[in-house]
Structure 1
Amino acid sequence: MSINFPQPYGPPAVPQDPDPAPTLPYHRLALLTGRRGRWWRPLAGTVVVGVGTALLMMVLVVVSEVGGAILDRPTDADDMRTWGSIGDMAVELLSIAIAIPAVLLAARWVQGRPAGTVSSVTGRLRRRWLGLCLCLALPIVAVSLGITFLLPGTGDSGGEVEWVGWRSFLLALVMLCCFVPLQAAAEEYVFRGWLVQAVGSWLRSPWIAVLPQAVLFAAAHGWGTAWGFADLVVFGGVMGLLAVRTGGLEASIALHTVNNLVGMGVAAGVEGALDTDETAADMGWVEAAVDIPTILIYAAAVLWFARRRGIAAVSTVAPQVPAVHVPSTHPWPTYDAPVGAQLGHDQAQTRNGPEVPPVTRPPHAPS
């Protein structure tokens, strides 16, 4: 039996494939937003990150002071409660780590995009890729540190080195393993994450997005020596380019974490070494001459593995745009209906529109 459908019904409409989501490199992911006024949102978000981090630091200081007063902890030269070398180092690391929630909230609330897009182009931190980068960084950093100690004038501290004892060493090591990854990740989220994407929301060139944060990263560590400042600029620039080329912060977090863990772990075994105020900005030319090639070798290894494993470097996260309702062009819904349902509409269609000829049953059809 053949049925001639009237014009309003017709054959079912074929759904059209939606337009593919635009692909963006890592430094342009701040454009994944449907809100207006995008040009000023990176500036407002940077203010939120700075003020939010400062407020969280103040909360941490208040908690430390109140807890120290309750436990009757001694005070230091600045009349601040002290928790010993290990405890004070934990507070210092935690005061940097609290920048992570400030960055994620600024991305979500101010820019209106998924907070995970600060981590990578997939909208999350890729743990397996992070684990592989950690495995690459560990032997490279260990060899670099060994070479540094063997070079003349670098392994000699100029005084007697006193072992802290196994109990203090293991306690410090546990503390470092808990807080150093958070501290290193926080610096990466602020400099290679937020700042790179803030500049990248205005400019397409990854070089222009990477260079300013590298200089700011070096300046944030203080002014020590010219060699130390140059080493930090190279580190920040190369890690920024790795974030763009690999589509996320995993490679930079891995090297930053391993570098700080190995350096602080060695210092944890020496009496009073954790109390020093020296940073990477204070390194000499010999240490910089060893560290800069180490950074470049690590970057080359990461890029090689990223190509072999097909690590995504462009966004796979759909942009946050409001849904748009497109009205149908037919006065009646178009769908596949059973024969009985179509016959039931004949009378209504006759009253509300042109007369529809009845369906003729073929001869010898069973009644």
Structure 2
Amino acid sequence: MKDFGKILVYLCGVLVGGALLAPPLYWAAQGLLGAGWLLVLKKYAFQKYFNRSLLVSAVVLLWPLVRWLGVKGWVPPVFGRDSRGWVRLAGGFTLGAGAMAVLGGGYVWTGCYRLEGVPEWAVWAKALCTGMVVGLLEESLFRGAISGLIERGRGGAMALWATSGLFAIVHFLKPDPSIKVAAVGWTSGFELVPHMFHQFSQPLLLLGGFGTLLVFGLVLGLAAARTGSLWMSIGLHAGLVFVKVVFAKGTERVFEKWPWVGQELQIGLAPVLVLALVGAVVWGLGAGRSREGPARP
């Protein structure tokens, strides 16, 4: 089986693994709630556990994928040497967060959103932790492992576009939030799978949502390719997630203005234009590649 086929098998395995893991993860959370611990989990429905289970499954199955593909001497790409790693991480975070903050400010200024007050410090701390964890895991998976494996056999351009497309598809596949799981059982995760494709039936959402994810994936891939490491892409990813979480907590959407402004900060054609400008900046900032070589397989 060719590498591309093996990656598809890996993705199917992630889906099955996530569907199987979601129920026990949900039950464990309910047990903690019953004991009076981690009461913050009470607000999360089963779909949240399903989404997190997919991420856990993707990380756990990454090493078997690498072994199956016959990659020798592979280490998680984030650990690759880069003497300017921390500088690129901070620069990427500042650029990603700054761009999204400007976009959010524009939304408030035009009346698409209104401020609801400054979020508490706990919200900021949680948003920062969420951004860093998501950036680290997803960049290691997409721009590190998968992109590096595709680049090995198909070249850099194919790796950039294929990984960005895969990144967009994976993030665009979300269970319909209107679907409620009344009683969670072992098959509840699989019951959500058919509802993951509902957004593809909405042309405007496909344009504004999928388009933004694709451009964002291209920018992240460009950052990794231009610098030869994942540090800048991790920072960019973390910065966007950080501002997204804080913005969602501190504002309320007044109206949508399709196709420019969507249901969330990062959805619509306006974010696409902002991310395109970020990509231009990344192209200039990443002119100097890591002297230690790329931190990818």
TM-score, normalisation: structure 1: 0.55
Alignment of 1:303 onto 2:277 = no
Match of 1:83 in 2: 41
Match for residue 179 of structure 1 among 120, 130, 133: 130
Match for residue 62 of structure 2 among 78, 86, 103: 103
Match of 1:140 in 2: 99
CA distance in 1, matches of 2:47, 2:124: 12
1:201-223: CA deviations, max 9, x gaps?
A: 2212x222222232232222143
- Specify every segment of 5 or more residues in structure 1 that has no aligned partner in the other structure, as ranges: 1-38, 75-80, 274-281, 320-367
Match for residue 194 of structure 1 among 145, 150, 157: 145
CA distance in 1, matches of 2:92, 2:283: 10
Match of 1:294 in 2: 274
Q: Which moved more, 1:58-67 or 1:86-95?
A: 86-95
Alignment of 1:242 onto 2:223 = yes
Q: Tell me if structure 1 keeps the 8 A contact 2:19–2:50.
A: no
CA distance in 1, matches of 2:59, 2:234: 13
- Partner SS state of residue 34, structure 2: coil
- The amino acid across from 1:192 in the alignment is R
- The amino acid across from 1:286 in the alignment is W
Q: Tell me if structure 1 keeps the 8 A contact 2:222–2:282.
A: no
Number of aligned residues: 255
CA distance in 1, matches of 2:125, 2:45: 12
Compute the displacement of 1:262 (Å). Answer: 0.6
Compute the displacement of 1:254 (Å). Answer: 1.6
Match for residue 210 of structure 2 among 216, 229, 239: 229
Q: Tell me if structure 2 keeps the 8 A contact 1:97–1:183.
A: no
Q: 1:214 to 1:95 in 2, by over 3 A?
A: same
- Specify every segment of 5 or more residues in structure 2 that has no aligned partner in the other structure, as ranges: 174-198, 200-204, 262-267
CA distance in 1, matches of 2:88, 2:216: 20
- Partner SS state of residue 153, structure 2: coil
CA distance in 2, matches of 1:171, 1:91: 22
CA distance in 2, matches of 1:49, 1:194: 13
Q: 1:88-167 residue pairs with structure 2 within 5 A?
A: 94-95=52-53, 97-98=55-56, 99-104=58-63, 106-107=65-66, 110-116=69-75, 118-119=77-78, 122=81, 126-152=85-111, 154-155=112-113
Q: 1:44-63 residue pairs with structure 2 within 5 A?
A: 44=6, 47-48=9-10, 51=13, 54-55=16-17, 58-59=20-21, 61-63=23-25
Q: 1:316 to 1:71 in 2, by over 3 A?
A: closer
Compute the displacement of 1:65 (Å). Answer: 0.7
Alignment of 1:217 onto 2:167 = yes
- Partner SS state of residue 116, structure 1: coil
Match of 1:324 in 2: none
CA distance in 1, matches of 2:143, 2:151: 11
Q: 1:334-345 residue pairs with structure 2 within 5 A?
A: none
- The amino acid across from 2:274 in the alignment is T
- The amino acid across from 1:253 in the alignment is I
- The amino acid across from 2:260 in the alignment is V
Percent identical pairs in the alignment equals: 18
TM-score, normalisation: structure 2: 0.66
- The amino acid across from 1:131 in the alignment is A
Structure with the larger helix share: 2
- The amino acid across from 1:267 in the alignment is A
Q: 1:174 to 1:87 in 2, by over 3 A?
A: farther
Compute the displacement of 1:230 (Å). Answer: 1.8
Query: What is the alpha-carbon root mean square deviation over aligned residues?
Result: 4.1
CA distance in 2, matches of 1:226, 1:241: 22
- The amino acid across from 1:181 in the alignment is M
